[in-house]
A and B are shown apart, each in its own frame.
Chain A
Amino acid sequence: MSGIVSYGAYVPIYKIETGEIASVWGADGSAWARNLNVYSKSVPGPDEDVITISVEATRQAMKRTNLNGDHIGAIYTGSESHPYAVKPTSTIVAEAISATPHLTAADYEFACKAGTAAIQTCLGMVGDKQIENGIAIGVDTSQGAPGDALEYSASAGGGALIIGKKNVIAEINHTTSYTTDTPDFWRREGQKYPRHGGRFTGKPAFFKHVMNCGMKTMEMAGSKPEDYKFIVTHQPNGKFPIRAAKSLGFTKEQFETGLLTPRIGNTYSGAIFLGLAAILDIAKPGDRILAVAYGSGAGSDGFDITVTDHITKIDRTETTEKMIEKMKIINYATYAKYRGKLNMGASK
């Protein structure tokens, strides 16, 4: 059965605390942190973008296996913050892991679920024997306008999954999607910051899609919440995924491992990859995982996953948790500089 052959994750080393952002805007930091259940968020360094994060995550995934670039037939990178409007991220990643030239590559965009759409594409190609292995990447360096609610959560990070049939560490038993035209969050061409529909992003958007997709995935798998060791969903803040998991019938023990947003913020396309990486870091053979991504606009991708014996044979010493523990706090001034929020005026 097709599944995950390896995984990689990357979270920038910098983070800013919610209280620090709130203090700049004269807001109540503890109230914002409590209401969002986001206490700090990752910040990409000045030399980091979706490409560098994708390369870091993909290299870690490759390092865990004996594969080299020749074994990779496809790379798809999902993001809503690709550095280039025209010029793929995926080709640069392919060069960085020496997978060129005999592979196919493309960049995906579907808000926060572009990366999981890439997983589904790879599953199809691997299942159809068009390629031996494919790499699906989900990464973002998301933007929140200064002073907007998004600024408290929009962060950076992501992960990569190698999808194949040989030596899989976790089989993907079932996948399905739930897609509608729901305009809850968008950014037009040329706009620096996205816009959102406030509370409309909740019930008719995130919850409708995640709940329906999660239930449909379990229906296809003939499974119940108690059959799973872990659940990970998209996590735009620290509250939505908890409410969704509980509504689907899951408990704290099942969702807490993959819930990283309270500490690293919303990594958008990277969120489900990072949550899944944190789970795979500690998962044991036989553990079952329900993963449900969400992308505004809107859609959800669901995955029913079972960890195999092979997970014990890969190197799992570098964990997502260690990466998060190493993070360094920066102040708002440094954050503003790193994120290009300072207007230096027109050069003469």
Chain B
Amino acid sequence: MRDVSIIGTGITKFGELWDKSLRQLGLETGLAAISDAEITSKDIDALYIGNMAAGSTLQQEHVSALIADYCGLTEQNIPATRVEAASASGGLALRQAYMAIAGGFIDIAVVGGAEKMTDVSDSESTYAISMGSDEQWESKAGATFTSLHAIIAQSHMNKYGTTREELSAISSKNHYHASMNPLAQFPFTLNIEVISNSGMVSSPLRMLDCAPNSDGAAAVVLCATEKAKRMNKKSIKIIGSGQASDTLSLHHRKELYKLPAIGIAAKRAFQSCNKKPKDLDLIEIHDNYTISEIIALEEIGIFKPGEAAKKSFEGETKLGGKIPVNTSGGLKARGHAPGATGIAQIIEIVQQLRGEAGNRQVKNAKIGMAENHGGTAATAVVHILEAE
């Protein structure tokens, strides 16, 4: 198996990008990543696109060919593949490209993620997101994505005594990080009191516990490490990759206060590079809800079960703390464009490992992890990156 490196990145601001179409977003970030990698379209062997909801929000399927077309890659009839795993679409697209290069099938791939969530009404985008859960057992019965995570949060609170303030501290910390990220959707700070008193969505989750449905796109260029070295590219190596699945519907699981697929995917990623949680300098976590970040940190092994909320509240996951988490602002404050989120996480880690994260730079960052999951973590994808 060959080593694989990231040699270029491109990302848009996340938010309500009403003046940009999906194809524009894909084009912008694709070109930015290619430009950053200093390659031409002729160097690209394959294109992978993470996208969750274009079919339901834009009535546009076949997104891979669309983006390839608008990026000018159809002249060379490039293989273009769309990957869909709800909000894990981006991370999973990256993993497909990683495996194709590591397996020796191709040398260079562009991996993009793009999503348009605000061209439809709130109820339509909520419904589109709910398609990541079990249609027969959950969404059709009226369970929204937030209500499913509310059940998870209630279970975690009952099991470990997790408090309202501890949930709010996650959101507050991520907003603090986003205040230093010019591409974040909500680049401002919010204190715990404001978050704890925001509108109730589904008890105990309040509005400011929930990530937004955003527009946005992100792209990276992956290259076989040996080739990147020959090309003298400044690169960040993908040293670990893991993926796991779980039951799609929540009620089929043994415990509701866990998201086991995240732990298994992380374990597989750690095993693939012989690293441990203590080796990480920073993590991007899929905090679609505040409770998700708490449980993910426990599943990955950063904290023992039942301790993540308390440790996070004490500041261990804040920039300058023991293990900074979501320095980008996370899904909550950088924004959450489902297909693009997994790639945006990777780009944050790349920027940190390159030492290009500006005010939110983690000192001496060498190894970082990105955890991306879909649904109630029925799919989890974890990557570990290392500065070369």
Interface of A with B (CB < 8 Å)? 28, 31, 195, 197-200, 203-204
Do A200 and B200 touch (CB < 8 A)?
no
Contact status A28-B199, CB under 8 Å = yes
* Contact yes or no, B121 A204, CB < 8 A: no
**Complex-state Cα separation, A308 to B121, whole angstroms:** 47
Does more than half of chain A's interface fall in helix, strand or loop, or is it mixed? helix
Residues of A near B118 (CB, < 8 A) are 199-200
Cβ contact within 8 Å between A198 and B200: no
Contact of B121 among A28, A31, A197 (CB under 8 A): A197
B16 proximal to A (CB < 8 A):
yes
How many of chain B's residues touch chain A, expressed as a range?
under 10
Nearest first, the 7 closest Cβ-Cβ pairs linking A and B are: A198-B122, A204-B18, A198-B121, A31-B199, A200-B18, A199-B16, A28-B199
- Of chain B, the residue at the smallest CB distance from A204 is B18
Residues of chain B with a CB closer than 8 A to A200's CB = 16, 18, 118
Q: Which residues of A contact B16 (CB under 8 A)?
A: 199-200, 203
What residue in chain A is nearest B125 (Cβ atoms)? A198
CB distance from B95 to the nearest CB of A (A): 34
User: B residues within 8 A CB of A31?
Assistant: 199
On chain B, the residues within 8 Å of A199 by CB distance are 16, 118, 122
Q: How far is the CA of A197 from the CA of B119 in the complex (A)?
A: 8
Tell me the B residues contacting A by CB distance below 8 Å.
Answer: 16, 18-19, 118, 121-122, 199-200
Query: What are 7 pairs between A and B in contact, CB < 8 Å?
Result: A28-B199, A195-B121, A198-B121, A198-B122, A199-B16, A203-B16, A204-B18
The CA of A195 and the CA of B122, in the complex, are separated in Å by 12
Residue from the list A28, A197, A203 in contact with B200, Cβ < 8 A: A28
* Docked pose: A197 CA to B199 CA in angstroms: 21
Q: How far is the CB of A293 from chain B (nearest CB, A)?
A: 23
Q: What CA separation (Å) do A204 and B118 show in the bound complex? A: 13
Chain A residues within 8 Å of B200, by CB: 28
A28–B118 alpha-carbon span in the complex (Å): 25
What B residues does A198 contact at CB under 8 A? 121-122
**What is the CA–CA distance of A204 and B200 in the complex, to the nearest angstrom?**
28
Residues from chain A with Cβ under 8 Å of B122 in the complex: 198-199
C-alpha spacing A204/B19, complex, angstroms: 9
Q: Shortest distance in angstroms between B344's beta carbon and chain A's nearest beta carbon?
A: 21
Could you tell me the distance between the alpha carbons of A28 and B19 in the complex, rounded to whole angstroms? Answer: 33
Nearest-neighbour CB distance to chain A for B212, whole angstroms, equals 10
Considering the chains assembled together, what is the distance between the CA atoms of A195 and B124 in angstroms?
13
Chain A proximity of B303: nearest CB distance (Å): 34
Which of A28, A197, A203 counts the most chain B CB atoms within 10 A? A197
- Which chain B positions have C-beta within 8 A of A197? 121
The answer for the CA separation of A199 and B120 in the assembled complex, in Å, is 10
Contacts of A195 in B (CB 8 A): 121
Output the least CB separation between A193 and chain B (Å): 13
Chain B nearest Cβ from A89, distance in angstroms: 31
CA of A178 to CA of B94, assembled, Å: 46
Instruction: Knowing that A198-B122, A200-B18 touch, tell me 14 more A-B residue pairs with CB under 8 angstroms.
Output: A28-B199, A28-B200, A31-B199, A195-B121, A197-B121, A198-B121, A199-B16, A199-B118, A199-B122, A200-B16, A200-B118, A203-B16, A204-B18, A204-B19
Inter-chain contacts of B121 with A (CB < 8 A)? 195, 197-198
Bound CA–CA A287/B320 (angstroms): 57
Using Cβ atoms and an 8 Å threshold, which residues of chain B touch A203? 16
By beta carbon, the residue of chain A nearest B123 is A198
Min CB–CB distance A80 → chain B (angstroms): 20
- A191 CB to nearest chain B CB (Å): 15
Instruction: Find the B residue at minimum CB distance from A197.
Output: B121
Alpha-carbon gap, A198 to B213, bound state (A): 13
- In Å, the complex CA distance between A203 and B121 comes to 16
Q: Which residues of B contact A28 (CB under 8 A)?
A: 199-200
Minimal Cβ-Cβ distance residue in A for B198: A31
Q: In whole angstroms, how far apart are the Cα atoms of A164 and B200 in the complex?
A: 53
- Which residue on chain B has the smallest CB distance to residue A32? B199
Separation of A195 and B18 alpha carbons in the complex (Å): 18
CB-nearest residue of chain A to B122: A198
The smallest C-beta distance from A211 to any residue of chain B, in angstroms, reads 16
Of the listed residues A195, A199, A203, the one surrounded by the most CB atoms of chain B closer than 10 A to its CB is A199
Of all chain B residues, the one with the shortest Cβ separation from A199 is B16
Give the nearest-CB partner of B124 in chain A: A198
Kindly list chain A residues whose C-beta atoms are within 8 Å of the C-beta of B19. 204
Closest to A202 in B: B16
Residue of A nearest to B200 (CB): A28
